Amino acid sequence: MGFQIHSSNETELIDGCLRQNHRAQQQLYQRYAGKMYAVCCRYVKDRAQAEDVLVMAFTKLFNRISQYKGEGSFEGWVRRIMVNESLSYLRKHKNMYLETDIEAAEFEPDYQKLENELEASDLLKLIESLPVGYRTVFNLYAIDGYNHQEIAAQLGISENTSKSQLSRARAYLQKKLTEWNHESIQKTS
Based on the fold, state whether residues 85 and 120 are members of the same structural domain. Answer: no
pLDDT at 83: 94
Q: Is residue 35 part of a domain?
A: yes
What's the mean pLDDT when you consider all of the chain? Answer: 81
| pLDDT of 22 above 60 | yes
List, in order, residues 6 or more apart from 53 with CB less than 8 Å away: 40, 43, 44, 82, 85, 86, 89
Q: What is the pLDDT of residues 33-48, one digit of tens each?
A: 999 999 999 999 888 9
- Comparing 58 with 71, the larger pLDDT belongs to 58
pLDDT tens for 104-158 read: 334 444 444 444 445 666 777 888 888 888 999 999 998 888 999 999 888 888 8
Query: pLDDT: is 116 or 86 the higher one?
Result: 86
The predicted model gives 156-182 an average pLDDT of 85
Are 122 and 87 in a shared domain?
no
Q: Domain holding 146: CATH number? A: 1.10.10.10
Same-domain status, 124 and 72: no
Radius of gyration of the chain (CA): 19
Residues 85 and 117 in one domain: no
pTM of the full structure: 0.67
- Could you give the CA distance from residue 111 to residue 95 in angstroms, rounded to a whole number? 32
| Inter-residue contact 182 to 105 (CB < 8 Å) | no
Whether 65 has a pLDDT exceeding 70, the answer reads yes
1 is a domain residue: no
- The answer to whether position 106 is within a domain reads no
Is the residue at 59 inside a domain?
yes
Residue 104 lies inside a defined structural domain of this protein = no
Regarding whether 77 and 129 lie in a shared domain, the answer is no
Is a pLDDT exceeding 50 seen at residue 98?
Answer: no
* 121 belongs to a structural domain: yes
Residue 14 has pLDDT above 70, yes or no: yes
Q: Same domain for 56 and 124?
A: no
Containing domain of residue 28, as a range? 8-92
pLDDT score of 187: 65
When comparing pLDDT for 176 and 139, which is higher?
139
Q: Is residue 97 part of a domain?
A: no
**Same domain for 15 and 80?**
yes
Please tell me the total count of domains within the chain.
2
Question: Do 86 and 137 belong to one domain?
Answer: no
Residue 93 has pLDDT above 90, yes or no: no
Which of residues 44, 60, 92 is at a domain's end?
Answer: 92
Percent of the chain residues past pLDDT 70, beyond the cut? 76
Give the per-residue pLDDT at 85. 94
CATH number at residue 67: 1.10.1740.10
